[in-house]
Amino acid sequence: MLKIGHVVVRPGRRHGDDPVEIPVPEELETVPGIPMVRKDVDFYSREYPLQRQQVEHAADTEWAPTVGTPAMQKYHHEHQEVMEQFYPLMNRSGNLPPTATPTGEDVTDLIRNKAREMGYLEVGFTAHDPRYIYQDRKDHVKFGNAVCLALEQDYAETQTAPSMAAEHGHYGTYEIQAPMGLEMAEFIRSLGYGAQVHGPSNHSAATIPMFVAAGLGQLGANGQLLTPHAGARCRLQIITTDAPVTYDEPVDYGFHAFCQVCQVCVNRCPGRALMREKIWWRGVEKNKLVYKRCRPVMSRYEGCAICMKVCPINKYGAKSVMEYYAQTGQVLGKGTHDLEGYTLHEENTGKYATGYFGPGELPTFNAEFFRIPNGTRENAALEDLIEYIKGHEGDLQRPEDDETLFNFRDRLKAIVTGESVSDSTMF
């Protein structure tokens, strides 16, 4: 039995459940939240502000739906249709006036209880940290306090990932969570304060750092927030408000060190997109996901999400995982088909790997598989033009040259005259 360093006590899974105690072995103790060098976070956020994925990676955001299976493309449209009704309401929510006179009293418990009654799995409070706001949303965020809300994604559907059922679990959670966020904001306005909804999917900031600051989990090697009850199987949303609330503190659940022992997601990622070792990135110590190795996989194979599905904390919960580790020094489920096995269904072209992959087995892909458009939409347009020039070197007086140049101009024109970037992160 390993020596227990400290015990984390968290509210139970459902509202009204008894609290759970999570033992953290001494050898897994690091710091509450995440190791961080504050001045480096300041520097990077100032000099290299974060961009929304739809902006920084706009080129592959446009590309991704084109390589999805027909079922994914159909679902993409259906989901967009559902969400389109919510985006304007969420984006305008911060402009609505409060509907009551504020008492000035601390309303943390009122908000927490309401959220738990509504079915949110995790609720926490922290400062809405401007360093994590996306560059094109800087003027959008109205209030300084963040209510962090995590909604659990269906367990059984997620266990089938990659699959259309898991995709329905993922995006179906967004469809439930968007109106829940609007209801929460309305509740806060009824207490006499402003409230603005951010997410799911139309986020104004990188959410995970604020969820970590609010004590709701720690960053996993899969690049996702590991919450104590459901691991990364949660969808995140933030409500900013000027209501008087008490901030929570970050927590050391032992996950930061446990990931270095576990490594299941790293071993099972079909794209080899997850890194074994931690590095310092923008002022925090983390296992940095390699985006360009993930994107081609998740776009083609039903959202992939294998790194979520195989995580023992998603499957068994942190209490069971930490108790087992404390007793045995082993990772619960590691090496079993039940935890680590997955099936890749046929993708759009029928060219790439399919079938079942058990522990120790991984598909392989060629270099062409990983070739995707890079960067912003402007980058993608320029990249295509350069490719054209390279392909016709020494032969640049062709009639097609004019057409190519005009196409390039038209693509740039559409971008600079304000063709908007989607609120959706689907694909």
Q: Give whichever of 180 and 347 is closer to ligand SF4, judged by the CB atom.
A: 347
Check if the beta carbon of residue 170 is closer than 8 Å to that of residue 79: no
Q: Is 84 left (phi over 0), alpha (psi -120 to 50) or beta?
A: alpha
Q: Give whichever of 22 and 313 is closer to ligand SF4, judged by the CB atom.
A: 313
Q: Give whichever of 197 and 273 is closer to ligand SF4, judged by the CB atom.
A: 273
Shortest Å distance, C-beta 293 to ligand SF4: 7
Shortest Å distance, C-beta 410 to ligand SF4: 33
Q: Give whichever of 215 and 312 is closer to ligand SF4, judged by the CB atom.
A: 312
Q: Give whichever of 202 and 222 is closer to ligand SF4, judged by the CB atom.
A: 222
**Identity of the amino acid at 394:** G
Shortest Å distance, C-beta 161 to ligand SF4: 9
Shortest Å distance, C-beta 291 to ligand SF4: 9
Q: Give whichever of 140 and 272 is closer to ligand SF4, judged by the CB atom.
A: 272
Binding site for ligand SF4 (CB under 6 A): 220-222, 226, 258-259, 262-265, 269-271, 273-274, 289, 294, 297-298, 304-307, 310-313
> What's the per-residue H, E or C state across the chain?
CCCEEEEEEECCCCCCCCCEEEEEEHHHCCCCCCCECHHHHHHHHHHCCCCCHHHHCHHHHHHHHHHCCHHHHHHHHHHHHHHHCCHHHHHHHHHCCCCCCCCCCCCHHHHHHHHHHHCCCEEEEEECCHHHECHHHCCCCCCCEEEEEEEECCHHHHCCCCCHHHHHHHHHHHHHHHHHHHHHHHHHHHCCCCEEEECCCCCCECCHHHHHHCCCCEECCCCCEEECCCECCEEEEEEEECCCCCCCCCCCCCHHHHHHHHCHHHHHCCCCCCCCCCEEECCEEECCCCHHHHHHHHHHCCCCCHHHHCCHHHHHCHHHHHHHHHHHCCCCCCCCHHHHCEEECCCCCCCCCCEEECCCCCCCCCHHHHCCCCCCHHHHHHHHHHHHHHHCCCCCCCHHHHHHHHHHHHHHHHHHCCCCCCCCCCC
Q: Give whichever of 14 and 371 is closer to ligand SF4, judged by the CB atom.
A: 371
Q: Give whichever of 124 and 220 is closer to ligand SF4, judged by the CB atom.
A: 220
Q: Give whichever of 134 and 253 is closer to ligand SF4, judged by the CB atom.
A: 253
Cα separation, 180 vs 74, whole angstroms: 25
Shortest Å distance, C-beta 52 to ligand SF4: 19
Shortest Å distance, C-beta 330 to ligand SF4: 13
Q: Is 200 left (phi over 0), alpha (psi -120 to 50) or beta?
A: beta
Structure tokens at 374: 């890079």
Shortest Å distance, C-beta 232 to ligand SF4: 7
Shortest Å distance, C-beta 249 to ligand SF4: 22
Q: Give whichever of 34 and 239 is closer to ligand SF4, judged by the CB atom.
A: 34
Shortest Å distance, C-beta 246 to ligand SF4: 30
Shortest Å distance, C-beta 372 to ligand SF4: 13
